[in-house]
């Protein structure tokens, strides 16, 4: 399946950046005004691309700290996780860089999960969505979520799902996500030994 093929990148990206070039933005045409896309994000200093190993030095973890607890993640820890993700082929961590300051200002992850069901298909999960608070309200949240959502479709996922706080339901509804009656509960067990 496409999602788990080794990309043609030389190791400098988490996944093949060419995957972001052929996304079909036609279904998102009415969801944003003006119409921005991953290849045309509206400003020449904005770049939507796969995570790179050098993003540790571009504030990627500082950005994630605006989403949740990151903890003490050294460069070594970051790089180990990066290579494990790249080797698995299932992680599509996607970022927005402000190239003027070489800072990561937005991120979202598509995690793909191989299935036996649905004709041995793939499903997608949306994870770790965040936009730097000084850049919010400019459609970059919609842009990064739609980018990985369209990528999931392109990779052949039969569905994409997410967990979010109640106050974000309108945000996700505005870009096409739905609460399915009787089928939208999220349940959890938290393990005390692991950070929350």
Ligand X SMILES: CC(=O)SCCNC(=O)CCNC(=O)[C@H](O)C(C)(C)COP(=O)(O)OP(=O)(O)OC[C@H]1O[C@@H](n2cnc3c(N)ncnc32)[C@H](O)[C@@H]1OP(=O)(O)O
Please list, in sequence order, all residues whose beta carbon lies within 8 angstroms of the beta carbon of residue 115, skipping any fewer than 6 positions away.
121, 122, 123
Distance separating alpha carbons of residues 19 and 49, to the nearest angstrom: 10
Binds ligand X (CB under 6 A): choice among 115, 138, 153, 154 = 138
The reply on whether position 41 binds ligand X by CB under 6 A is no
The H or E element spanning position 95 is strand 91-98
The reply on whether position 182 binds ligand X by CB under 6 A is no
Measured from the CB atom, the residue of 30 and 193 that comes closer to ligand X is 30
Site size for ligand X (CB under 6 A)? 22
Which listed range, 77-85, 110-118, 135-143, 186-194, lies at the site for ligand X (CB under 6 A)?
A: 135-143
Backbone phi, then psi, for 134, in 5-degree steps? -80, -5
Distance separating alpha carbons of residues 130 and 133, to the nearest angstrom: 9
Distance separating alpha carbons of residues 181 and 176, to the nearest angstrom: 15
Distance separating alpha carbons of residues 53 and 104, to the nearest angstrom: 12
Measured from the CB atom, the residue of 79 and 128 that comes closer to ligand X is 128
Measured from the CB atom, the residue of 23 and 63 that comes closer to ligand X is 63
The reply on whether position 73 binds ligand X by CB under 6 A is no
CB of 127 to ligand X, least distance (A): 6
Measured from the CB atom, the residue of 47 and 168 that comes closer to ligand X is 168
Measured from the CB atom, the residue of 1 and 162 that comes closer to ligand X is 162
Q: Where are the alpha helices (DSSP H) in 6-139?
A: 60-64, 75-88, 117-120
Q: Output the six-digit token pair for 48.
A: 């939507």
| Residues in 149-178 that interact with ligand X by CB under 6 A | 162, 164, 167-168, 170-171, 174
The reply on whether position 140 binds ligand X by CB under 6 A is yes
Binds ligand X (CB under 6 A): choice among 5, 128, 156, 159 = 128
Distance separating alpha carbons of residues 52 and 107, to the nearest angstrom: 12
Please list, in sequence order, all residues whose beta carbon lies within 8 angstroms of the beta carbon of residue 101, skipping any fewer than 6 positions away.
none
CB of 14 to ligand X, least distance (A): 17
The contact set with ligand X (CB under 6 A) reads: 66-67, 126-131, 136-142, 162, 164, 167-168, 170-171, 174
């Amino acid at each position: 399946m496409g999602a788990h093929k080794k990309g043609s990148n030389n190791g400098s990206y988490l996944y093949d950046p060419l995957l972001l070039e052929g996304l079909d933005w036609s279904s998102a045409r009415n969801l944003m005004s003006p119409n921005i896309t991953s290849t045309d994000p509206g400003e020449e200093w904005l770049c939507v691309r796969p995570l790179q190993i050098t993003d540790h030095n571009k504030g990627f973890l500082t950005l994630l700290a605006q989403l949740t607890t990151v903890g003490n993640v050294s460069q070594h820890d970051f790089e180990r996780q990066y290579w494990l993700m790249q080797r698995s082929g299932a992680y599509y961590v996607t970022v927005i860089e402000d190239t003027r300051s070489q800072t990561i200002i937005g991120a979202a992850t598509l995690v793909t999960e191989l299935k036996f069901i649905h004709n041995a298909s793939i499903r997608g999960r949306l994870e770790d969505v965040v936009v730097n608070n000084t850049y919010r309200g400019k459609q970059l949240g919609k842009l990064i979520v739609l980018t990985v959502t369209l990528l999931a479709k392109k990779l052949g996922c039969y569905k994409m799902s997410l967990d979010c706080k109640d106050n974000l339901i309108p945000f996700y509804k505005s870009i096409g996500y739905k609460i399915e009656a009787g089928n939208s509960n999220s349940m959890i067990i938290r393990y005390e030994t692991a950070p929350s």
